[in-house]
Amino acid sequence: TGKAVTPFLLSKILELTGGRSLKTNIALVENNARLAAEIAKAL
């Protein structure tokens, strides 16, 4: 199931990228939160 596959994939990607993917994913979450705040303010 997706619930089981996602953590596996994220772990494997983290391993293969030497940890770079974690920094990228954190930046993506931060950007999404910023964008959501801007959209909420506009509404």
pLDDT of the chain, 43 residues: tens digit per residue = 788 899 999 999 999 999 999 999 999 999 999 999 999 999 9
CA angle 35, 11, 21 (to 5 degrees): 45
pLDDT at 1: 74
Burial of 23 (0-12, 13-18, 19+ CB in 10 A): exposed
Decide: pTM greater than 0.75: no
The residue type at 7? P
Torsion of CA 7, 13, 17, 20, to 10 degrees: -40
pLDDT at 19: 94
Distance (Å, rounded) from C-alpha 38 to C-alpha 8? 33
pLDDT at 2: 80
Distance (Å, rounded) from C-alpha 29 to C-alpha 42? 20
